[in-house]
Structure 1
């Protein structure tokens, strides 16, 4: 089993070993059967929304005076992503990072665009944490987003664009980038809230007699989840800080105030994660202490029983069966009765130990 897990962990990295820098190799597991292309093109007065049949249909929006948000779902469609990169003149290493789903969150600034990689995280129906890579390209009057598959946390932003709520329709593309990043960061709050509930439930379960294997496995799962969240969120501080202090012409000075607010949210989330991390480690200590206390209770009961029978065993050992008047020795079924009594005592003790969860 351990070998299988190790193979699974290193599989994505093996796809990149020995490859030419800039080679486009999708390393994820969410391979869509069809390419999903969606575009918003808007200004203060008008908004157009459409699903596109090909990436070439989005090229006509590049030099328009309106703001364009072009979204691609399906990182396994390498040829289409390469077409977008060629048209928007994106560096080959940028395209490599887009399809490399193991990429650490980062920001790269160029003269004509800014490239950002983030991790979008959410819980699925079974409350398992899912991390999906989202790449952003901010240019003049446009924002490109690349996602592994359909389903994201941007529905609120889309609704604000459609209904002209908030400031998104009256600002430039840098504000759209802020709104999308803010949606991802806001969803982190839901993640850590669920994580906090799980920790509190485990604290209660430690005193309700759950089986050792079950409670220890839950603690290990929480450790893996908190580490995954930490790896995704901690680099975000540097990214937002650079956006806030950027002197790139694509970032308006007014928008930096909004990025500063996102930075405050990221700091709050990271501090909460550190607290939860310490709580999870303390859960293991609490678990070991609970197990030790239960063992002490078991040993105390067994010691009392043994102490009671020690003097009785001592007396029986000296005198044995050396009595003249022992009615049971002459009873026809005495031997069978003794066996029945011993079996009943044995089974009764097993049932008692099971109910006490000592076995």
Structure 2
């Protein structure tokens, strides 16, 4: 589906144009055409391939989809695969793909599986004509920068989940939910790993535009792409830090479970000791022997009860003082 098709010259928008007029504007000096497609069919891709002379292998990647983030150079043009990561209502991550064809006189963006559009990117480019004079390379930078910036709110949301889970770990009223906490921590770790799998390759791809042999089409833009690269490095380090926090949280949660079990064991042992003394005394005097001391003692029964109660009170005081009860 065609989202937008516009021509730009000298950093300013000339007009929204029809597909049939693309070749006319592409031929003009210092002019480039920016076309945006969403979930296109094979016919639309074939038309774009004919209009812009796109490389067959790059078009095949778009048709097949599910490409890892990458940057490939075909002659004087570039083909970039960027991944969008969005969070649905249930907190799960939804992965989308944005394929970008960049040539000296054209930019073609193809969105697949993304819910949010990129109208903000187009508006930003049109607000900054001095930068848009760099042509299609600046559009590629603006798209990459916008996609990377969308990762930060996701990290904040996942970070908030970690903090909430940490509070649950140390909630003494919630020790019975330890299994659920571990399941939630594992789910959080899985989402962080998924995000990392889409960020790390993009870091490598953007690195090709920041130094060394920079493609000619991006010759004037290394400083801008370096800014995107720095953002990606921050994201990668943040993900690594959050993953370590989750591993630590799992270990702490298991430690809290062990402490809780230890507390239960101590309490059970204390109550067992309180019942053990009366049971021992009652068992001794309940033996069927004829000659047992104090059997004929007049106050033997109340004395036994008093001894049982006294010993239990002493044990209770000691256990209470030790923190077992």
Please confirm whether the aligned pair reaches a TM-score higher than 0.5, indicating the same fold: yes
Report how far residue 286 of structure 1 moved: 1.2
Change (3 A) 1:318 1:129: same
SS of aligned partner of 1:243 = coil
Asked whether the equivalents of residues 142 and 173 of structure 1 are also in contact (C-alpha less than 8 Å), the reply is yes
Q: Does 2:169 align with 1:206? A: yes
Q: Which runs of 5+ in 1 are unaligned?
A: 1-34, 325-359
Report how far residue 167 of structure 1 moved: 4.0
Change (3 A) 1:36 1:112: same
Asked whether the equivalents of residues 153 and 183 of structure 1 are also in contact (C-alpha less than 8 Å), the reply is no
TM-score where L is the length of structure 1: 0.71
Report how far residue 169 of structure 1 moved: 3.4
Report how far residue 217 of structure 1 moved: 1.6
Report how far residue 275 of structure 1 moved: 1.0
Q: Does 2:61 align with 1:93? A: no
Asked whether the equivalents of residues 71 and 206 of structure 2 are also in contact (C-alpha less than 8 Å), the reply is no
- Structure 1 residue aligned with 2:39, among 66, 70, 74? 74
SS of aligned partner of 1:244 = coil
SS of aligned partner of 1:152 = coil
Q: Does 2:144 align with 1:194? A: no
- Structure 2 residue aligned with 1:156, among 120, 125, 128? 120
TM-score where L is the length of structure 2: 0.78
- Structure 2: distance between partners of 1:120 and 1:272: 18
Q: Which runs of 5+ in 2 are unaligned?
A: 289-294, 297-325
- Structure 2: distance between partners of 1:198 and 1:257: 35
Q: Where is the helix percentage greater, Structure 1 or Structure 2?
A: 2
Tell me which residue corresponds to 2:138: 175
1:159-218 CA-to-partner distances (Å, cap 9, x unmatched) read 2245x2464433311011101101111112222222221211111111121612321121
Change (3 A) 1:167 1:304: farther
Tell me which residue corresponds to 1:231: 197
Report how far residue 147 of structure 1 moved: 1.0
Asked whether the equivalents of residues 71 and 80 of structure 2 are also in contact (C-alpha less than 8 Å), the reply is yes
Change (3 A) 1:62 1:291: farther
- Structure 1: distance between partners of 2:265 and 2:168: 23
Question: Between Structure 1 and Structure 2, whose CA radius of gyration is higher?
Answer: 2
Tell me which residue corresponds to 1:14: none
Change (3 A) 1:301 1:101: farther
Tell me which residue corresponds to 2:217: 250
Change (3 A) 1:58 1:279: farther
Asked whether the equivalents of residues 6 and 13 of structure 2 are also in contact (C-alpha less than 8 Å), the reply is no
Aligned length: 284
Report how far residue 98 of structure 1 moved: 1.7
- Structure 1: distance between partners of 2:47 and 2:194: 33
